Homo-oligomer: A and B are copies of this chain.
């Protein structure tokens, strides 16, 4: 990535914009110099320098062409500035200037991109807050210069990016790099994730995004990055009430925030709800060693806060295992732990907890735990410094992850620098510390899991076309699914009352009769499904009723055996505007509608991932045979979900598929009803075959 070297480690930088004191160009030059970067030139109509930096009228006049150009000149000048910069040999331009697509001026923004393409330069922005590379002491931005550290922060929003930089010192987080890409006309989220995956100076990547630029490219880049280092993502959603409403039927899942949730989890990213949680996680990931299991021990000098943290740990999926008898004996034997209030977990040292007490309790307990949280509820008469030394000593002695919660205010001021120096992250509350430890443990688990990374299966678009014209009728969809190897019921399409009577005899036992009619897709709503037809007479009557329900679009009646004792599932497929094909599985009927118990993935997935989806359902126990019922055929269900997830890659014109109900049996399954919607030709072309 040649643009990356020019962007983050330029030999020299040109600032384009007014250099009159107080103007943007002047402020930017001041920032660059104050940050410690010296190889700067100023470009403006008057050709005057500023703050000792030489001035030029155009980029072409600069004797040694700059690698990086920072543009803060008026919007209408930007295309020509970009063109000049490219022609002069600059590799990247960071365009801070606003007033483009964000205020509806799309053509003007396109003009910048074209100028860049013509002259061979790459762009960051426009309407961005600049970039930072603390290791190169490079601060071409109007924002606060943040402390140096191991976190790279990429922000779509300039303002939010700036706020994060301003907040960083107080939050104890340092940055390796910062990029605000604003309108992202050229370089965007995907490019920066690709670069940061291999950036040795970055241990953790944090991303704030409102919309990803390209769903599938984003997933590829994010999965690649997340395999190497943690990726923490804030994605602001819009109106979760809208999302909840949409979940009521699978066909409307497209574009919902739930798809972002699924996609981010699939690529191994960690989605957080806001900036505080992002800072907490960044601190945890940069300071804690890997958390290699779920067992947490809490050592505290006050019971209550220990229990609050334990509650949070439990809720976050950690295990608060009780110490073994051997460990309890060891703790009791220590001369420094004679005042021990509780030998359970949390281990309560009481207000008598000392440096030696914290150290010994932590070291001993970490023999049986994967991570520890040390809580010091301080008071004016407790000295936090020795307690901090005890905690740091335990972390060093064991090499295991130890976090701290030293409360509160000035009374712990002397302990905090000792923790920081000792590499033990301190959190405002035990609950927040527990949440961070849980997230670090989850990340490690996801990395080590057998579960394959995104995408779980590679599927070449085949570009076939669905074998029907217009709206499909159920028999057509079932025939097609059968051809794709999906289990469909025995069935007969009949077109007379006598044929219906014959069908009941031939299919045997109890039969369901369903109307097949153009224009009727939700058959139950119009009385188009008659269950439990058991005699020829009943079949004739049922046919006549369905004939009249069908009206002008009537094409026949579909007869199939009643399925008994199946657990109802729904399996759905839709296309999300950001991420393309999305597959859903849920418990059918009332479960899906009332409990909204549906699991989603960006397609395609393999059967192993489909098994994970089934396990994610809140009602998963029903499939495993709750209340003494028989276990259901989860392999068959997983094969079906995986198979459905591949269909949109074989059939570019498949828009939606809704299998509901699917009867999941002890052995195998039967698709009870199927609806399919084809994309119109224009959409198929516009979106591309695989999207």
Contacts and interface: CB of A to CB of B under 8 A. Distances in A.
B594 A236 contact: no
B407 A167 contact: yes
Interface string A627-653: 110000000000000000000000000
A429 interface: yes
Contact of A593 (B164, B166, B627): B627
Q: How many copies does the complex hold?
A: 2
A408 B156 CA distance: 18
Interface string A157-171: 111101110111110
A687 interface: no
A164 B429 CA distance: 11
Interface in A327-360: 341, 351
Interface string A292-330: 000000000111110110111011000010000000000
B380 A304 contact: no
A170 B311 CA distance: 26
A208 interface: yes
Nearest to A351: B159
Given A102-B341, A234-B308, A618-B595, A302 B157 contact: yes
Interface in A1-52: 27
A274 B307 contact: no
A266 interface: no
A163 B378 contact: yes
Nearest to A587: B594
Contacts of A308: 234, 236, 273-275
Given A144-B380, A144-B409, A627-B590, A304 B239 contact: no
A655 to B, nearest CB: 25
A105 interface: no
A307 B428 contact: no
A240 interface: yes
A305 B241 CA distance: 18
A310 to B, nearest CB: 7
A578 to B, nearest CB: 16
A535 interface: no
Given A341-B102, A407-B167, A408-B167, A311 B159 contact: no
Nearest to A406: B163
A411 B619 contact: no
A302 B163 contact: yes
A596 B455 CA distance: 34
Most buried by B among A241, A305, A315, A524: A305
A274 B236 contact: no
Given A241-B314, A429-B274, A408 B590 contact: no
B379 A167 contact: no
A103 B339 CA distance: 9
Q: How large is the interface on A (under 10, 10 to 19, 20 to 34, 35 or more residues)?
A: 35 or more
A162 to B, nearest CB: 4
A237 interface: yes
A305 B163 contact: yes
A284 to B, nearest CB: 17
Contacts of A315: 240
Interface string A133-172: 0000000001110000000000011111011101111100
Nearest to A597: B595
Interface in A404-443: 407-411, 428-432
B162 A379 contact: yes
B621 A407 contact: no
Contacts of A163: 302, 305, 377-379, 407-408
B377 A159 contact: yes
Interface in A457-481: none
Contacts of A111: none
Given A166-B407, A305-B160, A315-B240, A595 B595 contact: yes
Nearest to A411: B166
Interface in A489-522: none
- 10 shortest interchain CB distances as A-B pairs: A167-B408, A159-B302, A236-B307, A157-B304, A162-B379, A166-B409, A163-B407, A159-B377, A160-B304, A163-B408
Interface of A: 27, 98, 102-103, 129, 142-144, 156-160, 162-164, 166-170, 208, 210, 234, 236-241, 273-276, 301-305, 307-308, 310-312, 314-315, 320, 341, 351, 377-381, 407-411, 428-432, 524-525, 589-590, 593-595, 618-619, 621-622, 626-628
